[in-house]
Structure 1
Amino acid sequence: MLESTRRTSALRARIPILLMAVVAMTAACSTVERADDTPDATRSIATVRGTVNVPENPLRVVTLEPVELDTTVALGIMPVGTAVLSETSGVPAYLGTDAADITTVGTVAAPTIEDIAAVRPDLILGTETRHGEYYDQLTAIAPTVFISSQSDPWKESVRFVGRVLGREANAEELLSAYDERCAEIAEKFDTPGKTAQLIRPRNGELTLYGPSSFAGSTLECAGFTTPPRPEWAEDISVDLSPELAAQAAADLVVVTATDPADPAAVPASITANAAALPNPRAVDLSYWITGVGPRGGQAVLDDIDRILSTG
């Protein structure tokens, strides 16, 4: 019995060492093989973790943050792996059918190191505020680059990802196309001078999103103004209890839902305040809230165009 216990203890002690060996071996195999068998050239990128040498032309990218996933796909590079906000919903459908085949490597909040190593990336993109604790493990697999925070201005994150991927000019083209679409909608529907408020029902409250949020900034880009609140000076959102729903008054009221087609998508606390919240429109949560990036921005603008076209 004592000998059996000793063998079990010894095996347990070896597990972390074996796991480290597996990660190291996978990382060694993750070097991209070129047609001429020469190693890929690298570029130096300044990051929150100092200078990181990344592949000149990364081919096997893993993304851990929604804006990195959206931007990478928009730039024509399909990631080999991505962390998702929910393993149940998986890769957001708005990214297209090709993106549905991307391997999931855990969640944005808790990426799975073994799954990341298994897809043999040559570049990993993450976020310091969310993934800082994993940095050493990730860099043992492949060059790892972090944006500072998921709260950073999303356009700057798009530019940064473009720079890391060696497609900075293409990233600027995507942002220019977004701005041009905003201007077209503003002119088409004469939105300047009108207000718009995005509301997300959750946990029994109503979350209002301000002008510095992703979708809030897109509404403003399309010519609308977010109704002023003192919270917008520091926060991207504010929670209201349902009985205060009328405080979200605006000319255009947009309400996020998992299923916008559901007749009950807009809660009673909003529909009961028709004078302040006229004709609220349900929109898809997957890109209005979490679809941060060029493709998500265009999807939000598609909805704005559709809503305003139907009156």
Structure 2
Amino acid sequence: MKVWKFFVMSLMFVFVVVLSACGTVGEDNASDGNSSEDSESTDEDTRVIEHEMGETEISGQPENVVALEFSFVDNLASLGVSPVGIADDDDEERIIEPIREKIGDYTSVGTRKQPSLEVISSLQPDLIIADMKRHKDIYDQLSEIAPTIILPSLAADYDGIIDSFETVSLALGMEDEGQDVLADHEEKMEELRASVPEDENRTVLPAVVADSGYFAHNMESYTGSLLESIGLENAIQDGDDRYNKINLEQVVEFNPDVMFHMATGENTVVNEWESEELYQNVNAVKNDEVYEVDRNMWSRFRGLISSEKILEDAVNYLYE
């Protein structure tokens, strides 16, 4: 009898040990599986974005974005993202209408040259997009507030603006959406290129005109390279500076066939030149091909939306 009881108790002990071991294995397997999934999910949510000042790690999809240059506002609007803060030079009228319609309300963070770090911080951003030329010296301070990427804008040509858009798309976790937007943009660009006759041989000169001078944009500037991208040759094909302050004699020397003037203020240097015989002998003036265009659109905004609008303007002026 004692032997039988001992045998039964031994079987029960073995059964308990086996159940315990199975439970432990199950828990371990479950734990291992969850850790793997969590790790994989974290890896997918975190990405390293390369930019002009190095690399920035961004997790998830940023929702509170601050843009310190107008081209980045254009980038965000193209992707259907509304920035919480914009360096708008304390003037909301500088936001061009096609973009204002898309982004809604925002908080001004001051000027593009000197944005307010205090206001930026108060918005609790999870991404700041800044310009290499204007903001590289405050990159560290911006990075203390939120993940920051520095991209070319002020000194970029049209191709550089496209590259910056792609980087912004990656930073937002919207790479696929960005490629769709670029495909639509390229289709629009092809339509605009088709509007320019193959035998077009006029030279064009976009320029900011102010009372302080005449600032010509050469073929490597944003506006100059944009016009060239559809077959409109810039009158200035050399020089180290994309934006050149030139005098009347130099305008005569370049002798553009078409001039697009981005006027600042009511009275500019051109008003003084109009009584000069030299100015009247410039091809564009003689042929009545001097057009005043919106400086905000043609110079300050540099993005996909503004690029399309600029070229639509140019085509309408030249081929209406």
TM-score normalized by the length of structure 1: 0.76
Aligned ranges 1:149-164 → 2 under 5 Å: 150-152=154-156, 153-164=160-171
For the pair 1:114 / 2:118, whether they are aligned, the reply is yes
Alignment partner, residue 283 of structure 1:
293
Cα offset, 1:203, TM superposition:
4.2
Q: Deviations over 1:57-76 (max 9, x none)?
A: 11110011222111111111
Tell me if structure 1 keeps the 8 A contact 2:130–2:148.
yes
Determine helix, strand or coil for the equivalent of 1:126.
strand
Where do 5+ consecutive residues of structure 1 fail to align? 1-37
Alignment partner, residue 238 of structure 2:
230
For the pair 1:200 / 2:208, whether they are aligned, the reply is yes
Tell me if structure 2 keeps the 8 A contact 1:41–1:55.
yes
For the pair 1:71 / 2:71, whether they are aligned, the reply is no
Q: Which has the higher helix share?
A: 2
Quick check: 196-205 or 144-153, which moved more?
Answer: 144-153
Tell me if structure 2 keeps the 8 A contact 1:195–1:225.
yes
Cα offset, 1:289, TM superposition:
0.6
Determine helix, strand or coil for the equivalent of 2:141.
helix
Instruction: Summarize the Cα distance change of 1:264–1:147 in structure 2 as closer, same or farther, 3 Å threshold.
Output: closer
Cα offset, 1:196, TM superposition:
1.4
For the pair 1:93 / 2:80, whether they are aligned, the reply is no
Cα offset, 1:112, TM superposition:
0.5
1:212 is aligned, of 214, 220, 231, to 220
Alignment partner, residue 183 of structure 1:
190
Tell me if structure 2 keeps the 8 A contact 1:204–1:242.
no
Tell me if structure 2 keeps the 8 A contact 1:60–1:120.
yes
Tell me if structure 2 keeps the 8 A contact 1:53–1:143.
yes
Instruction: Summarize the Cα distance change of 1:59–1:182 in structure 2 as closer, same or farther, 3 Å threshold.
Output: same
The one-letter code sitting in structure 1 at the alignment partner of 2:230 is A
Instruction: Summarize the Cα distance change of 1:264–1:134 in structure 2 as closer, same or farther, 3 Å threshold.
Output: closer
Cα offset, 1:132, TM superposition:
2.6
2:181 is aligned, of 165, 174, 179, to 174
Q: Identity rate of aligned residues, in percent? A: 25
The one-letter code sitting in structure 1 at the alignment partner of 2:68 is L
Alignment partner, residue 146 of structure 2:
142
Instruction: Summarize the Cα distance change of 1:223–1:172 in structure 2 as closer, same or farther, 3 Å threshold.
Output: farther
Determine helix, strand or coil for the equivalent of 1:250.
coil
Cα offset, 1:125, TM superposition:
1.0
Determine helix, strand or coil for the equivalent of 2:187.
helix
Partner Cα separation in structure 2 for residue 100 and residue 285 of structure 1: 22
The one-letter code sitting in structure 1 at the alignment partner of 2:164 is S
Where do 5+ consecutive residues of structure 2 fail to align? 1-40
Partner Cα separation in structure 1 for residue 147 and residue 316 of structure 2: 42
How large is the Cα RMSD of the aligned pairs?
A: 2.9
Quick check: 236-245 or 275-284, which moved more?
Answer: 236-245
Tell me if structure 2 keeps the 8 A contact 1:92–1:286.
yes
For the pair 1:302 / 2:308, whether they are aligned, the reply is no
Alignment partner, residue 240 of structure 1:
246
Partner Cα separation in structure 1 for residue 267 and residue 188 of structure 2: 30
Cα offset, 1:87, TM superposition:
1.4
